A = this chain, B = another copy of it.
């Protein structure tokens, strides 16, 4: 069974930013290992992850919030409009075996919450830091580099990707 890994992060980071570079490297590494990359299909971290995966010949799935397939970034190979708005975040989480969060805004935060709630492992690179009552939460497995994120995500997916 092919491993499916989500890459999530802000839609408005610029090309060449550290977040975009990390996302692109994550996408490339996952695709080189044979994993399908699933994301929200739009720009920023999503586009960078798809660009990296596409460069490695990988399959990229974009679960779009709107109703137009043309909203997808050009590196999405399977672009699926959902018309659900931000509720599509739940679909990204359900569709994957492991979630990799690269930086990220509030939408990413919702995906992290849904993943941890439903038992999908989350690997984070420079993403949200969570605490309750002053105690750090250890739900997100934090790594330092894109390469570490790829390795750890593949291990957690436990597949033969």
Contact = CB atoms under 8 A, between A and B. Distances in A.
A87 B84 contact: yes
A112 B114 contact: no
A114 B89 contact: yes
A61 interface: yes
A69 interface: yes
Contacts of A131: 128-129, 131
B130 A130 contact: yes
Interface in A59-102: 59, 61, 63, 67, 69-70, 77-78, 80-87, 89-91, 94-95, 97
Residue of A61, A63, A113 contacting most chain B CB atoms (<10 Å): A113
Given A110-B110, A129-B130, A132-B129, A95 B116 contact: no
